[in-house]
Amino acid sequence: MADFSERIIEEFRANDGTVTVAGFGRSLVLLHHRGARSGVERVTPVMGLPSEHGWLIAASKGGAPENPAWFHNLLAHPDTVIETPDDGEVAVHAERLEGDTRDAAWARFVEASPGFAEYERRTERTIPVVELRRR
Q: What is the pLDDT of residue 133?
A: 98
Q: pTM score > 0.85 for this model?
A: yes
Q: What is the pLDDT of residue 1?
A: 62
For the chain (length 135 residues), average pLDDT per consecutive 10? 89 96 94 96 97 97 97 98 97 98 98 96 98 98
The 3-class SS string of the chain reads CHHHHHHHHHHHHHCCCCECHHHCECCEEEEEEECCCCCCEEEEEEECEECCCEEEEECCHHHCCCCCHHHHHHHHCCEEEEEECCCEEEEEEEEECCHHHHHHHHHHHHHHCCHHHHHHHHCCCCCCEEEEEEC
**Domains in the chain, CATH or no CATH each:** 26-134 (2.30.110.10)
